[in-house]
Amino acid sequence: MRVLLVEDEPRVAADIAVALQRSGYAVDRVDDGERAWFSGDVENYDAAILDIGLPKIDGLSILKRWRANGRHFPVIVLTARGTWAERVEGIDAGADDYLPKPFKMEELLARLRAVLRRSAGQSAPVLTSGALTLDTRQMLVKLDGKPVMLSPLEYRLISYLMHHADRVVPASELGEHLYDLEHERDTNAIEVIVARLRRKLGSGAIETRRGFGYLMPSAAP
């Protein structure tokens, strides 16, 4: 899962980025409104964390532009002010959630997990596909009740497929959501990661729709 982090306070941005990466997300970090608007408009993100008080273009203006251009990924708005009127304005602009500063990192991560589940049509924090479960709170994958050790890339891939269960996901889409902007995207690498996951989870865990992509069913066949 890939997140756009828009925050101009270096210390706050660094702390959030580290927390996101430790929680299994690929993170693209920008610190001004112009770069934020452009990144969100041309890249495919699973979610954005957007500060309101930004140089060049303010956060609410960015959010309105994204929504006007049909960019529907969930957005959590951060602000140092947090008045009720500002919250209403943020929600009306298209925010999916709102978090005033200062905040606990655990709360931000919990809210991010929640908006990601809602955007994918999932309600429970534990996702299921046959004998496989993924606890999004603990980043824990189990097969028949037994934990499975996964690399960060393996976890991101299985998490994306399980959030989008019962939908065929092209390899190119997986590449867009597994890697940040600093990494080259290679569909051959996706095949290698899928092959590794099948060795760990069973050959039938991830189905291939040749010429279209990969699919994980939400329940056992």
Per-residue burial over 121-139, b = 16 or more CB atoms within 10 Å of its CB, e = otherwise? ebeeeebebbebbbebeee
Of 119, 140, 169, at which residue does a domain stop? 119
Q: What is the pLDDT of residue 123?
A: 78
Answer whether residue 151 is part of any domain.
yes
Q: Show the domain range for 130.
A: 126-215
Q: What is the pLDDT of residue 85?
A: 72
Q: Are residues 134 and 113 in the same domain?
A: no
Q: Are 6 and 53 in contact (CB under 8 A)?
A: no
Residue type, 6: V
Q: Are residues 70 and 161 in the same domain?
A: no
Answer whether residue 220 is part of any domain.
no
Q: What is the pLDDT of residue 219?
A: 67
Q: What is the pLDDT of residue 84?
A: 67
Terminus-to-terminus CA distance in the chain, angstroms?
A: 26
Q: What is the pLDDT of residue 199?
A: 94
Of 53, 86, 119, at which residue does a domain stop? 119
Q: Are residues 70 and 38 in the same domain?
A: yes
Of 86, 119, 152, at which residue does a domain stop? 119
Mean pLDDT by 10 residues, the chain (221 residues): 95 96 94 94 94 91 94 91 71 87 94 92 87 92 94 93 93 89 74 94 91 84 44
Q: Are residues 107 and 156 in the same domain?
A: no
Answer whether residue 136 is part of any domain.
yes
Smallest Cα–Cα separation from 105: which of 21, 16, 3? 16
Tell me the per-residue pLDDT of 131-148, one tens digit each, with 9 for 90 and over. Answer: 899 999 999 999 999 999
The position carrying tokens 């050790």 is 149
